[in-house]
Chain A
Amino acid sequence: MSEPSTATEGATKASAPPPAAHDHDHGHDDHGHGDAHHEDAIHAANPHLAHHFDTPQQQFDAGKLGIWLFLLTEVLFFAGLFCAYTVYRSMHPEVFVYAHYFLDTKLGALNTCVLLISSLTAAWAVRNAQLAEKGKLMLNIVITIGCACTFMCVKYVEYSHKYHDGLLPGHNFQPKEQIWELDSFRHKHPEAAEYAEKLAKLDEKKNEKAPAAGAAAAKGEEHEEKMERPTEEELEPLIAAGLVGPRSLDPSAHISRPRMAHVFFGIYFFMTGLHGFHVLIGIGVWVWMLLKAMKGQFGPNYFGPIDFTALYWHLVDLIWIYLFPLLYLIH
């Protein structure tokens, strides 16, 4: 960009006259002096140049530094969450192994693709803005917004599934399905799933009996003996699948979910929710950019807002790139 750089030189002179020069008034009311006039001319030629900047380049540089600092704060903001995730996962790894079966990897992967595409079109939009290609710019922004909306729709589908299945954080955590009933689990550990089901039925029978235990105490003895206890060998697939810990070799072992399973869904909803909130903000900003683009405001001297929005969008994308494996793809 040749024009702004010469303008910088002019502005340099305007704002700092050499000390030896006669102390004329260089103020902006004064039209007689070349330097001040030059600065006015730059402002006149660049309707989007704010009054306190001397050149478009300076304005762009300031914006760029500003958005990078803002992204830094965003990274730190999420870093706190990732930190909590790490601490919790190292304290209760079994919770994460257990709970990730409840997430739909296919939908997660679809969302990852959608966001990657939108990142591409966002980057493309910056190029369009620089070259003042109004039509292409608008198209790329529309595709980006479209992808973002798709992402939110898929999230809605996922959230409503979780809601219906009782997979909510805290006290609202009441899963309707047992882990061995899930396809994702059956697919990976068919043997364990089968055995877990058997064991769970036994547990159920035991529970049914318990209230009537007093009355049937005499008769019950026979039944009690028939009830199978899992042997070490039988338990092995369960241990391998992470359903029971090695300590559960205690023959009275039964399948249950980890006590802190609800925390995973707390973290899941918190992280994806906060990320989703950022996507929503992004959609809002892109719509605003679309309106500005429709007015044909962008060109080689003024493309900062598109550039900064795209940078923000890449960050939102990047955070999802981390969230996806951390939440969906746990081993």
Chain B
Amino acid sequence: MASPTTTADAAIPQAKGADDNYLTHDKGFASWAFTLDHKRIGVMYLASVLTAFALGGFFALAVRTELWSPGKTIMEHDTYNQMFTLHGAIMVFLVIIPGIPAALGNIILPLQLGAKDVAFPKLNLASYYLWVIGCLCMLTSLVTNAVDTGWTFYAPYSTTTQTNVIPAAFGAFILGFSSIFTGLNFIVTIHKLRPPGMTFFRMPLFVWALYSTALIQVLATPVIGITLLMMMVERVFGLGIFDPSLGGDPVLFQHFFWFYSHPAVYIMIVPAFGVISEIIPVFSRKRLFGYQFIAISSLAIAFLGFLVWGHHMFTSGQSVLAGTIFSAITFLIAIPTAIKIFNWVSTMYKGRIHLDTPMLYALAFLWVFTIGGLTGVFLAVMGVDIHLHDTYFVVAHFHYVMMGGAITAFLGGLHYWFPKAFGKMYNERTGRLGAIIVFVGLNLTFFPQFILGSRGMPRRYYNYLPEFQGLHQLSTIGAFTLGIGFLLTAVSLARALKSGKKAPNNPWGSVTLEWTTVSPPPYYNFHTPPPVTAGPYDGYEDLVYDDKIGGYVAKKA
């Protein structure tokens, strides 16, 4: 270094030796709490999101246990209402929205792009702390008089109920800013920190997916921010925008809410598309089929996602014309989604498929997402939606997409990148067993709910007609199966962290840039900035498996 005394130079981390990596580079609490390294921030997100997931899962099991029998099983009406509200709010705002982008994306995106960090590391850290503050706000509501409005905060119930709505809504408001800043950071990173040679159409599809997601995060989240703020002010000062008893319009709240929350569905699922697009070619040892179609379809979904919010409101009394337009555009979204599924399946054709844990999750994703997607078409058909709206059919549909789609992809991605992020291999057998139990539990939990819904069982019901009990019990058994699957997976990964085998640099034979650096990556990401001369899925044939290191290395010429 020419002059190591200047401030910026001091910020340039220096390699401390062969074993130096981002996990060991600095030690101590402060080195984590004030880190600006994207990988460390990603790891903190990951730990926090998984903790929130455990909490949300606990509420889910409580809800399912209560539904074992009609009437009171273990809790009262009001407790049940609080439980399902907290389950929804935690899973949506604290887990699925930040899950893939903020946790996996933070660790992987700059590596995959060949960048040294995200564009604004301080903002990145601020996003994380906003998440923490948002989480604390939600917990405040939880331990005082937990919110019971449903995660949708529909007015005028939310402006009049006696429970502690404000901390929960304020938490969601803060989490919105966390999400906006993450999205902003990724957009700028992708535009401005691509190394030469990394053109847009050489970017891996995970980056494409996060780019589309980030656009939605930046363009949609401010609207829910202002909506929740108005709702809170209405509750405190009696503003009169939403509450009809003060002269407001409750349907306006729904418009505002879904203007964000429908695109938010794509914030949750599009990153999952990215993960699946990474896993399938690697484990099929074959280039992804229809790369450009998948890349563009992510953008198409992001764009169309803004124009369909009204399909949540076919029964709210909106005009027939509005309903018709929203329904038509909703159908259009089915097309890019179908394209993706066809392309993924085609990628496996004539491949050489390895059924490791990440691939099992990807196959599980294809299964559940096909069902989730097809049942979405039922809900887009207006006449049929009138019957299905606000029934368990909707609950089953969005759990197949959110839980079955986003969470399986998240777990698949976690297993795929785990060796890279932590430098340890997990036990393949417990990994696969976990994936299979999760898959079985998922279908057992949510498939009966389709039948419940189409037979007329409304959602958010504490009590139900005795005729529905059998299917409810099946669903509850499934939920506990799911719980066992997650627990097994958690134990498996925790053991790997503690005593896993050292991971090779490239265990799966991937060709994207994150696998060209060591595992775990050095503080500075790359000892040698990687050259980019080809597309993201080229060159599987140039790698050979080395039994000694248990991973792939470049074929000797």
Query: Do A and B interact directly, with beta carbons closer than 8 Å?
Result: yes
Q: Which residues of A does B touch, CB under 8 Å? A: 12, 14-19, 23, 25-29, 40-41, 43-44, 46-53, 58, 61-62, 65-66, 69-70, 72-74, 76-81, 83-84, 87-88, 91-92, 168-172, 259-260, 262-263, 266-267, 269-270, 274
User: Does B144 sit within 8 A of A, measured CB to CB?
Assistant: no
Smallest distance from the beta carbon of A167 to chain B beta carbons, Å? 13
In the bound complex, do residue A170 and residue B192 qualify as a contact, i.e. CB atoms below 8 Å apart?
A: no
Q: Which residues of B contact A23 (CB under 8 A)?
A: 528
The one of A66, A72, A169, A259 in contact with B237, judged by C-beta atoms closer than 8 angstroms, is A169
Q: What are 26 inter-chain pairs, A to B, with CB distance below 8 A?
A: A12-B196, A15-B196, A16-B529, A17-B531, A18-B531, A23-B528, A25-B527, A26-B528, A40-B1, A44-B2, A44-B3, A51-B117, A52-B117, A52-B119, A58-B193, A62-B192, A65-B187, A72-B219, A77-B223, A87-B252, A169-B237, A170-B238, A260-B240, A263-B239, A266-B233, A269-B237
Provide the bound-state CA to CA distance between A263 and B249, in Å.
12
A-B interface, 4 closest residue pairs, ranked by CB to CB distance from nearest: A170-B238, A80-B226, A52-B116, A52-B117
Smallest distance from the beta carbon of A17 to chain B beta carbons, Å? 6
Q: Which residues of B does A touch, CB under 8 Å? A: 1-3, 6-9, 11-15, 114-121, 123, 180, 184-185, 187-188, 191-193, 195-197, 218-219, 221-223, 225-227, 229-230, 233, 237-241, 246-249, 252, 256, 524, 527-529, 531-533
Q: Which residues of A contact B7 (CB under 8 A)?
A: 47
Interface centre among A17, A18, A27, A74 (most CB of B within 10 A): A27
Provide the bound-state CA to CA distance between A65 and B117, in Å.
17
Q: Which residues of B contact A270 (CB under 8 A)?
A: 230, 233, 239
Provide the bound-state CA to CA distance between A278 and B174, in Å.
16
Interface of A is mostly: helix
Provide the bound-state CA to CA distance between A6 and B531, in Å.
21
In the bound complex, do residue A50 and residue B11 qualify as a contact, i.e. CB atoms below 8 Å apart?
A: yes
Q: Which residues of A contact B239 (CB under 8 A)?
A: 169-170, 263, 266-267, 270
Smallest distance from the beta carbon of B479 to chain A beta carbons, Å? 37
Q: Which residues of B contact A16 (CB under 8 A)?
A: 195-197, 529, 531-532
Q: Which residues of A contact B532 (CB under 8 A)?
A: 16
Q: Which residues of A contact B524 (CB under 8 A)?
A: 28
Report the tally of A-B residue pairs with Cβ distances under 8 A: 166
Smallest distance from the beta carbon of B394 to chain A beta carbons, Å? 26
Interface of B is mostly: loop
In the bound complex, do residue B227 and residue A27 qualify as a contact, i.e. CB atoms below 8 Å apart?
A: no
Smallest distance from the beta carbon of B295 to chain A beta carbons, Å? 21
Smallest distance from the beta carbon of A37 to chain B beta carbons, Å? 8
Q: Which residues of B contact A51 (CB under 8 A)?
A: 8, 11-13, 116-117
Smallest distance from the beta carbon of B446 to chain A beta carbons, Å? 34
Smallest distance from the beta carbon of B1 to chain A beta carbons, Å? 6
Interface centre among A23, A51, A74, A171 (most CB of B within 10 A): A51
Q: Which residues of A contact B187 (CB under 8 A)?
A: 65, 69
> Given A26-B529, A27-B15, A91-B249, does the pair A47, B8 have CB atoms closer than 8 Å?
yes
Smallest distance from the beta carbon of B41 to chain A beta carbons, Å? 13
The one of B12, B114, B241 in contact with A88, judged by C-beta atoms closer than 8 angstroms, is B241
Given contacts A84-B252, A87-B249, A92-B247, 9 further A-B contacts (CB under 8 A): A41-B2, A51-B12, A62-B188, A69-B188, A73-B184, A81-B230, A91-B249, A262-B240, A263-B248
> Given A16-B532, A44-B2, does the pair A77, B184 have CB atoms closer than 8 Å?
no
The one of B188, B246, B527 in contact with A65, judged by C-beta atoms closer than 8 angstroms, is B188
In the bound complex, do residue B6 and residue A80 qualify as a contact, i.e. CB atoms below 8 Å apart?
A: no
Provide the bound-state CA to CA distance between A43 and B7, in Å.
10
> Given A65-B187, A263-B239, does the pair A73, B12 have CB atoms closer than 8 Å?
no
Provide the bound-state CA to CA distance between A81 and B12, in Å.
44
> Given A18-B531, A65-B188, A76-B223, does the pair A29, B218 have CB atoms closer than 8 Å?
no
Smallest distance from the beta carbon of A56 to chain B beta carbons, Å? 11
Provide the bound-state CA to CA distance between A168 and B237, in Å.
9
Q: Which residues of B contact A172 (CB under 8 A)?
A: 237
Smallest distance from the beta carbon of B137 to chain A beta carbons, Å? 19
The one of B9, B185, B225, B256 in contact with A44, judged by C-beta atoms closer than 8 angstroms, is B9
Q: Which residues of B contact A26 (CB under 8 A)?
A: 528-529
Interface centre among B119, B120, B256 (most CB of A within 10 A): B119
Smallest distance from the beta carbon of A52 to chain B beta carbons, Å? 4
Provide the bound-state CA to CA distance between A50 and B118, in Å.
11
In the bound complex, do residue A52 and residue B121 qualify as a contact, i.e. CB atoms below 8 Å apart?
A: yes
The one of A44, A76, A168, A269 in contact with B6, judged by C-beta atoms closer than 8 angstroms, is A44
In the bound complex, do residue B9 and residue A62 qualify as a contact, i.e. CB atoms below 8 Å apart?
A: no
**Chain B residue nearest to A13 in the complex (CB):** B196
In the bound complex, do residue B237 and residue A80 qualify as a contact, i.e. CB atoms below 8 Å apart?
A: no
> Given A28-B14, A62-B188, does the pair A76, B222 have CB atoms closer than 8 Å?
yes
Q: Which residues of A contact B241 (CB under 8 A)?
A: 84, 88, 263, 266-267
In the bound complex, do residue A14 and residue B529 qualify as a contact, i.e. CB atoms below 8 Å apart?
A: yes
> Given A16-B529, A44-B9, A266-B238, does the pair A69, B218 have CB atoms closer than 8 Å?
yes
> Given A25-B528, A41-B2, A66-B119, does the pair A15, B8 have CB atoms closer than 8 Å?
no
In the bound complex, do residue B529 and residue A61 qualify as a contact, i.e. CB atoms below 8 Å apart?
A: no
**Chain A residue nearest to B251 in the complex (CB):** A87
Smallest distance from the beta carbon of A31 to chain B beta carbons, Å? 8
Q: Which residues of A contact B191 (CB under 8 A)?
A: 62, 65
Q: Which residues of B contact A80 (CB under 8 A)?
A: 222-223, 225-227, 230, 256
**Chain A residue nearest to B2 in the complex (CB):** A44
Q: Which residues of B contact A19 (CB under 8 A)?
A: 531, 533
Interface centre among B12, B121, B187 (most CB of A within 10 A): B12
Provide the bound-state CA to CA distance between A259 and B15, in Å.
71
Q: Which residues of B contact A79 (CB under 8 A)?
A: 222-223
**Chain B residue nearest to A264 in the complex (CB):** B240
Provide the bound-state CA to CA distance between A50 and B194, in Å.
16
Provide the bound-state CA to CA distance between A262 and B6, in Å.
58
Q: Which residues of B contact A69 (CB under 8 A)?
A: 184, 187-188, 218
The one of B115, B121, B222, B531 in contact with A77, judged by C-beta atoms closer than 8 angstroms, is B222
Q: Which residues of B contact A52 (CB under 8 A)?
A: 115-119, 121, 193
Q: Which residues of B contact A81 (CB under 8 A)?
A: 226, 230
Smallest distance from the beta carbon of A148 to chain B beta carbons, Å? 23
